[in-house]
Amino acid sequence: MVYCFSFKSTLIFTLVCILLLSVFVCESVPLNETRFKPMEELKKMIRVRTHLKKINKPSVKTIQSPDGDLIDCVVSHLQPAFDHPKLKGQKPLEGPSERPKGHNSSNNEIYETVQLWAELGYCPEGTIPIRRTTEKDVLRASSLRRFGRKIKRGVRHDTMSGGHEHAVAYVNGDEYYGAKANMNVWTPEVTDPYEFSLSQLWVISGSFGNDLNTIEAGWQVSPELYGDGFPRFFTYWTTDEYQATGCYNLLCSGIVQTNNRIAIGAAISPRSFYNGEQFDISVMIWKDPKDGHWWLQFGSGEIIGYWPSFLFSHLQKHASMVQFGGEIVNSGSNGYHTSTQMGSGHFPDEGFGKAAYFRNMQVVDWDNSLLPLVNSQLQADKSSCYDIKEGQNNEWGNYIYYGGPGRNAGCQ
């Protein structure tokens, strides 16, 4: 039992005692911890544990992944998305009304990647797999408010911002209703714990100001978010340029997952090796012409779930830009450019088996048809650090090689 007799007998201190008592009893914190932790640390832990209770939902089964993750099988209508007032009391949709015309569910991957946790069995029907978030995950973030969120800016426009650097192919100037591509998966080195390296496609609308809407999916290495250097399948969304809305994966009310076989945020295995076998994933995002929601497909036709259209402003209608490529954060913490790698960590000139690629890059048009990119443009923020090159052939359609090592003789 914890005694509060050392506090002054005022109402405010009594309330503090009651609050601390409830936390210690519910969480079974040992008595000696309560006597030595500073008050600010206690307040921080209260906030962290309250947040964890919000995002870690009760599970019917937990799977210990060989890579260290705990995967909770959560009843589908209890996932974080249904904390949203507009979804409370509802259940997930069964699936999209239709997939884009020209879609080939087999995808003809070079080698398709998997997630190690699923080798031990999938979650039961009616549940979805959610990577459990731990106290350590939250405490690695710069603040609880920023946990699970990108730091501006996560989209390439005209200038680098917040240390973000990109090497992307993009199309704009039309109405887009989705995008699809295959990308090979690597394990780029991230040299600062607050940096990341990712490869993804972006579906974008808005003015690149506070009204920017994006939907993003691909793979990323983020030591801050996940606590390791594994590449992980991830999603992101925002409707106000990464300020107060949106998050990674299922860390807030956003994407509604419907799949019991793929865990968003879980590690991808196997990965590509330099001058060796190449492993890639297929990602497709598209706006369902009937329900208006933005659906996500991963791998060989696995429907993952959807972002409800009401989450967005501009994307309730369509996208105005689509991007494919890589992004890193250059924190400059040592006074010079980071050595964090993008893609394979090698420049695009090295080609297949050595450089990272996107292939079969396509967009979805107003008629829900997949079309090759037309008049695409390339942009590398610092080509001496990370570069990009494009090509086209009958087997790969429109493709790019991209990436680089970061700091080198030409990148200081």
Specify the range with the lowest mean pLDDT, choosing from 114-128, 160-174, 277-291, 331-345: 160-174
Residue 118 phi/psi, 5° resolution?
-70, -15
Most confident of 300-304, 306-310, 334-338: 306-310
Query: How many CB atoms neighbour CB 408 within 10 A?
Result: 13
The reply to whether 216 belongs to the active site is: yes
223-245 pLDDT tens trace: 999 999 999 999 999 999 898 99
Which of 165, 216, 241, 390 is an active site residue?
A: 216
Given this model, what pLDDT does residue 121 score?
93
pLDDT at 25: 38
Q: Are 181 and 168 in contact (CB under 8 A)?
A: no
What is this structure's pTM? 0.87
Q: Which range, of 18-22, 189-193, 233-237, 295-299, averages the lowest pLDDT?
A: 18-22
Confidence check: pLDDT of 5 > 50: no
**CATH, residue 162:** 2.60.120.200
Which among 272, 285, 290 is positioned nearest to 356, based on CA atoms?
272
pLDDT per residue as tens digits for the range 182-200: 999 999 999 999 999 999 9
Question: Which amino acid appears at position 156 of this protein?
Answer: R
Using one digit for the tens of pLDDT, what is the confidence trace for 353-387? 999 999 999 999 999 999 999 999 999 999 999 99
pLDDT category of residue 55 using cuts at 50, 70 and 90: very high
Place of tokens 């970061």: 406
Flag whether 248 is in a domain. Answer: yes
Q: What is the pLDDT of residue 45?
A: 87
Domain-embedded: residue 354: yes
Amino acid at 241: E
| Other residues' Cβ atoms within 10 Å of the Cβ of residue 160 | 14
The pLDDT assigned to 155 comes to 61
Give the type of residue at 132. R
The first and second tokens of residue 342, run together, are: 């993008």
Q: What does the pLDDT read at residue 208?
A: 80
Cβ neighbours of residue 64 closer than 8 Å, sequence gap 6 or more: 70, 71, 120
In a domain, 85, yes or no: yes
At 37, the pLDDT band (50, 70, 90 cuts) reads: low
Is 10 a domain residue?
no
Quick check: is 125 catalytic? no
> C-alpha angle 254/259/263, rounded to 5°?
75
Mean pLDDT of the chain: 88
How many CB atoms are located within 10 Å of the residue 211 CB?
A: 13
Per-residue confidence (pLDDT) for residue 29, from 0 to 100: 43
Mind listing the pLDDT tens digit for each residue in 126-184? 999 999 999 999 999 878 878 988 876 556 554 445 689 999 999 999 999 999 999 99
Domain-embedded: residue 60: no
Tell me if 5 is assigned to some domain: no
- Tens-place pLDDT, residues 340-349: 999 999 999 9
Is residue 255 a part of any domain in this protein? yes
**pLDDT in the model for residue 154:** 55
Three-state SS sequence of the chain: CCCCCCCCCCHHHHHHHHHHHHHHHHHCCCHHHHHHCCHHHHHHHHHHHHHHHHHCCCCCEEEECCCCCEEEEEEHHHCHHHHCCCCCCCCCCCCCCCCCECCCCCCCCCCECECHHHHHCCCCCCEEEEECCCHHHHHHCCCCCCCCCCCCCCCCCCCCCCCEEEEEEEEEEEEECEEEEEEECCCCCCCCCCCCEEEEEEEEECCCCCCCEEEEEEEEECHHHHCCCCCEEEEEEECCCCCCCCCECCCCCCCEECCCCCCCCCECECCCCCCCCCCEEEEEEEECCCCCCEEEEECCCEEEEEECHHHCCHHHCCEEEEEEEEEEECCCCCCCCCCCCECCCCCHHHCCCCCEEEEEEEEECCCCEEEECCCCEEEECCCCCCEEEEEEECCCEEEEEEEECCCECCEC
- The C-alpha angle with vertex 144 and arms to 138 and 150, in degrees rounded to 5, equals 85
Determine the pLDDT at residue 42. Answer: 84
What per-residue confidence (pLDDT) applies to 22? Answer: 46
Number of domains observed in the structure of the chain = 1
Of 165, 195, 241, 327, which one is the catalytic site residue?
Answer: 327
Q: What is the pLDDT of residue 308?
A: 98
Report if residue 36 sits inside a domain. Answer: no
- Could you tell me the residue range of the domain that residue 306 belongs to? 72-403
Nearest to 333 by CA among 225, 407, 222, 248: 407
